[in-house]
Structure 1
Amino acid sequence: MSSDAEGSTGAAVGSRTGGDTILSIDDVHVSYGKVQALNGVDLDIGTGELISVIGPNGAGKSTLANSISGFLPYDGSITYKGEEIDESDPEDLVERGLIQCTEKRDLFGFMSVEDNLDLGTYVRGDYDERLEFVYDLFPTLEERKDQHAHTMSGGEQQMLAIGRALMSDPELLVLDEPTLGLAPVILDDISEGIDRIQEEGVTILLCEQNVTFAMNHADRINLLENGEVVRQGPPSELRDDDYIRESYLGG
C-alpha cells in the first residue's frame, strides 16, 4: 500500500466532540467461509463526527463498510441509532439516513449525470435543495449534467457517486475508498467537498487507504489490519506513533 500523501491537501481539522452515538460496533466478526475478514472490531461514532478507518488493501475496510450498510451478515453487534443493523433491510437503513458510497461507485454508465443524481432521491431528500447543494459542491457535475456517466474521468465519477449519495440526505455517510486512484487536482476537490459535507452536519465514516488524507480530515483514526483494529486515537497522537509513521507515513 502506498502511504504517499501526494495530492492530499485538506486542512487539518481540530478535534470535534461527537454528540450522541449514532453508530456503535461491538465485537464484530465477519467471515467468508474459512477466511476471517473481521475479528472482534469495536468502534463508536458520535453524531457530527468524522471517523476514519485506515489500513492496507485487504485489511477489511470494505467488509466493515458493507456490514454497516446491511449487505453482509456478522456476529457481534452493529447498531445505528440504537437499532441492530441486521434487523433491517439495506433499503430501510437508507430510509433512516444511512447511506453508503461504495468503492465501485455503482453508477449507471449510460445514464446522464443528472439522471444518476435523480436516483439518489428515490427514497429520501428534497430534490431541488439537494441538487443545488450538490452542484454547488461539485460545479463540474452541473457543467456535465447531460453527459453519460461512463464517459467521465475517474475523478468526475467519484464526485458523481458522492453527489448521488448526498441526494439521499444522509445522516451517516459511509465513504469507502473515495480517493482511490484519483489525480492530485481531483483530491483537492474531494477534500474540500468532505469538509463542506461535515459542515452541513453529516456524520461520516471514511474508509481510506490514503493515510495522510484521512489524518487531515478525521476526528479519530482506527487502524485496521488483518481484520483487527490495532491502533485507535486522534490524528494528533497517531502521527507520532512510530509504527504508523514508519509503515504508513513514510517514516
Structure 2
Amino acid sequence: MQQSQTDFRDPSCAEPVGFAGRDTAGHLLQRLEQHGFVVAAIDDPGPPDAQMVALSAALGLGDPYIPALYRHAETVNYSASYSHILSNPHDQHPGFSTTAGQDWHVDGLLDEIGTIKTTVLYCVRAAQRGGETLLFNSVVAFAELREQDPAAAEALLSPDALTRSSTIPAIDLSATGPVFSVDPGGNYITRYTDNDTCTWNFSAGPAGALRRALDFLRVAADNPRYQRAVLLRAGQALIFRNDRLSHGRRSYEDSPDARRHLIRVLYANAPV
C-alpha cells in the first residue's frame, strides 16, 4: 500500500488536481493510492448533484451508500444519498448542523469496519473563517505502533475494543468492534474514532495495553507527518479512503448572509 510511504508534511499531497471527467480520473486515483486522499478541482462547476454523479462514474464508485445509522425510522431525515452539511439551529444532528469542530472519527458509526470505503466532500460554499477538514493517517500510525508495542496494537485488534454510540438525541443505537483490522488484501483498515461516541473496553488485551495504544495514537494524530488540514474552496471535492484515514473538522464561522455548505456522499466501493 503506497499510503504507508506518505508524509503529510509534503505540501504537494494536498494540491488540487483538475477533474474534467474520465480523462483525468487516473491522476485522482494515483493521488488516492499515494496519500489516501485527493482534492479534485472541478473544471466546470455545475449543479452539485451532477458533479457527484460524474465524479462517481469516473472513479467507479457506484451508487451512494446509506449508513446503517440512517436506516431507522427515527433517523430517516438523514437518509438521503447526498447529505447537506450546513449550520441549522433547528436541527439536532451533532455533525451536520453545527459550526463546532469534530474530533477524530470514521463515517459509519454502526457499520462494520471497512464497509464504507470512500467519502466525498464537495464544497458548494466555504465558510467565512475556518472549517478545515482534518485527516489522520491512522493505519500508518497503527503500523508503527505494532512495531514498537505489539501488545498495545493487538488490543486495538480486539473485536470488543471499541463501542460507538449515536449522539443524535433520543437515538439509542451502538455498535462494538475492533479499532483496526486487516482486509482481504492484507492491508490495515481503520475504525479509529476518539470522540464522544466512544466507550473503550480497557479489559481488551493485556493489562494497560489499550491505554498505551490510545496514548500513542493521540500523540501521532498531532504529528504533522500523519495529520493534514485541508481547506476546500467552492467547486472542490475532497475524496478520501474512509477505511484508511480518520478525519475531523475545525470549527468555523459563517458570514451573515451565506452559510458554509458541503455535500457528503459515502460509497461502499473503493475508487478503481
TM-score (norm 1): 0.29
Greater per-residue helix proportion:
1
TM-score (norm 2): 0.28
